[in-house]
Amino acid sequence: MPRARAAARTAVVVRHVAFEDLGNLEPCLREKGYEIAYLEAGTDPLGEAADRADILVVLGGPVGAYETDAYPFLRDETALLATRLGAGRPTLGICLGAQLMAQALGARVRPGPVKEIGWSALRLTQAGRRSPLAALEEVPVLHWHGDTFDIPTGARHLASTPAYENQAFSLGPNILALQFHPEARARSLERWYIGHACELSGAGVPVATLRAEAARHDALLQRAAHRLWKDWLAALDGAAGR
């Protein structure tokens, strides 16, 4: 008898704005055999599909994790994450997603001291150098945020910048939260410049400067990000005994 085909693994992605997507993470997930499904925050029900996903990815967006009165769907995301993280299931948060993960784990999320928008390298902690983030050592990455979070109890602090002490944390091999944007690709950032035009104007950040930085650093980031994602996905497989 022919062997039964193994069921595909699923990666469910919670997206807050259409132009902030998986970026360079998407081909890495597909190479590992994941089927990808997007859920649009605020309009799509998150429950069952996100809860059952082999990997849940929560992307960035221009709202604060604490703005639950204005954006009630954030309560649903936080509750979903609290359940999933409590069970130690594979979860990745980027920017707002990382802030929601911190909030779900009981840590404080709040406005930061400045808008951090632009490209610069991370300062990795010792734990960060032993993590998949080692791929990003001395590599300029895109920062685009104005909020910060405390490191949740029991989590490992992985990275910082001069403006923001807490840039990343992990809980075991399955749970990774990143304040910055390693998924960004220069060719897709024109959509960000349009979608975040008001924020850039208010922060006094010239689009021309961001465009030039992206062109200068993109090739190096793409190589480093591929290794980051490959190493993290391999760690997930190792934790699952695959």
The whole-number pLDDT of residue 199 equals 97
The whole-number pLDDT of residue 157 equals 98
The whole-number pLDDT of residue 242 equals 78
Asked whether the beta carbons of 151 and 169 are under 8 A apart, the reply is yes
Residue 174: CB atoms within 10 A of its CB come to 20
For 91, 148, 158, 166, the CA distances from 23, given in Å and listed in that order, are 17, 23, 22, 23
* Two structure tokens written together for 17: 């704005």
* Two structure tokens written together for 3: 């062997």
Max Cα–Cα distance, the chain, nearest Å: 66
Residue 171 CA from chain centroid, whole number:
14
The whole-number pLDDT of residue 6 equals 57
Q: What backbone phi and psi angles, to 5 degrees, belong to 178?
A: -125, 125
pLDDT digits (tens, 9 = 90+) for 35-79: 999 999 999 999 888 889 999 999 999 999 999 999 999 999 999
Residue 104 CA from chain centroid, whole number:
15
Q: Residue ranges of the chain with pLDDT lower than 70?
A: 1-7
With CA atoms as reference, report the closest residue to 14 among 87, 70, 63, 69: 63
Residue ranges of domains in the chain, CATH in brackets: 9-240 (3.40.50.880)
* Two structure tokens written together for 50: 């996100």
State the Cα–Cα distance between residues 90 and 121, nearest whole angstrom: 26
Asked whether the beta carbons of 103 and 58 are under 8 A apart, the reply is no
**Pairing between strand 34-40 and 9-15?**
parallel
Question: Apex CA 142: angle with CA 201 and CA 130, to 5°?
Answer: 155
The DSSP secondary structure of 81-108, one letter per residue, reads HHHHHHTT--EEEETHHHHHHHHHTT--
Instruction: Kindly give the residue spans of alpha helices, DSSP state H, lying in the chain.
Output: 25-31, 47-52, 73-86, 96-104, 126-129, 189-195, 197-203, 207-240
